[in-house]
Homo-oligomer: A and B are copies of this chain.
Amino acid sequence: MDKKKQKVLEEKGFQVGSAAEFLELTPEEEAYIDIRLDISNMVKKQRAKRGWTQEQLARAIGSSQSRIAKLEGGDPGISMDLMIKALLRLGTSKKQIGKLLEGELEAV
């Protein structure tokens, strides 16, 4: 894992190793973060595509604007459950989410 990517992750609040030995995510940890970022980016893209505000999306799933902002910003303090609920509410199907994770869905 290159340092640029690590820095970006740490800025977002991910605990990428201790302060002393700030190195190496396991492949599982990398994949986990990768999946989360894919989904959060998809939410941002789909919401924009539909012309919704963060406020609108938030109300539609019983959440709040600040949570949606954090979700789209890749904040680690947001659960995948909330991210998936947002995606589904935006009209994304389970199948499309699958394609997203497969890497076959650069733009839905």
Contact = CB atoms under 8 A, between A and B. Distances in A.
Nearest to A80: B80
Chain A: interface residue count, which band? 20 to 34
A103 B93 contact: no
Interface string A68-89: 0000000000011100110011
A94 B28 contact: no
A9 B13 CA distance: 36
A31 B103 contact: no
A10 interface: no
Interface string A44-88: 000000000000000000000000000000000001110011001
Interface of A: 28, 31-32, 34-35, 38, 79-81, 84-85, 88-89, 93-95, 97-104
